[in-house]
Amino acid sequence: MSEKCSGNCSSCGESCGERKAESLLAELHARSSVKKVFAVVSGKGGVGKSTVTSMLATAMHRSGKRTAILDADITGPSIPKAFGVSVCEADDEGIYPARSKGGIQIMSINLMLENDSDPVLWRGPIIAGAVKQFWTDVIWDDVEYMFVDMPPGTGDVPLTVFQSLPIDGVIIVTSPQELVGMIVSKAVKMANAMNIPILGLVENYSYFRCPDCGQKHELFGASHLDKIAAEYALPILARLPIDPSVADKCDKGLAEELELGELSAAIEAISR
């Protein structure tokens, strides 16, 4: 260390053994309070990640915790529709998240568009900046557990979220196809590279239970989840069936009325 060292590494160009790594974490709004942040990710689209996010938030809220959802999927937001909310408020102090009928706090780009069907025609860095503002500019009211609904893949937005938000853990959503195993591996390796704990795996569309005979049918083929979980030493949090009522309730803005099945037990595991 130089004798002239001020201790302020951000203003120093020297490379020394005492140099501190610069934190990229964004500062939470002064009036906000968020205790735990979980990111819900998938390596590809179409596996029901937003639905699983909605169910996780609903399960946590039913357990008595103050819960929020930050919708980081800027170009494909679906959380507001699932919970039946359409607008948010803002003033000189900041942006106030919408609240579902049950009280879950929600922030999404669709709450700020004139029409929820308007496309967001932004390049990657601008999209990533908008997600960061959902953390810095939104006034989150005493949130105990926040779920971040991530866009698929490992691009600008996931990288921004992992670097800018204090993520306490990642939940990876997958489906039974063998191809998905490769995609899950990418999500696992990205989380590991960012030193973020992986809380476990949720397999969506795992099976369909016939309403007449009660038998399970694996419509997407045999599951490869056990192999993936063993390879990376990860717990399986839940296997969710194909259930037409889930899509129906989300389409009607009734996500808080969903049957949660194994996700109720998963909430107990990840909130310890």
pLDDT digits (tens, 9 = 90+) for 170-191: 999 988 876 667 778 888 999 9
Instruction: Please report which confidence band the pLDDT of residue 19 belongs to, taking 50, 70 and 90 as the band edges.
Output: very low
How sure is the predictor about 9, in pLDDT bands with cuts at 50, 70 and 90? low
Element (DSSP H or E) covering residue 180: helix 178-193
Give the percent of the chain with pLDDT over 90. 59
Axis-axis angle for helices 49-62, 263-270 (nearest 10): 70
Q: Strand 67-71 to strand 105-107: parallel, antiparallel, or no bridges (unpaired)? A: parallel
Supply the mean pLDDT for the chain: 88
pLDDT digits (tens, 9 = 90+) for 122-177: 888 899 999 999 999 999 999 999 999 998 877 788 889 999 999 999 999 988 87
pLDDT per residue over 43-69, tens digit each?
777 889 999 999 999 999 999 999 999
Single-letter code of the amino acid located at 244 = P
Q: pTM, whole model, 2 decimals?
A: 0.89
Instruction: Report CA 126 to chain centroid distance, whole Å.
Output: 19
Beta strands at 208-209 and 198-203: parallel, antiparallel or unpaired: unpaired
Question: Region 9-31: what's the mean pLDDT?
Answer: 69
How far is the C-alpha of 69 from the C-alpha of 149, rounded, in Å? 7
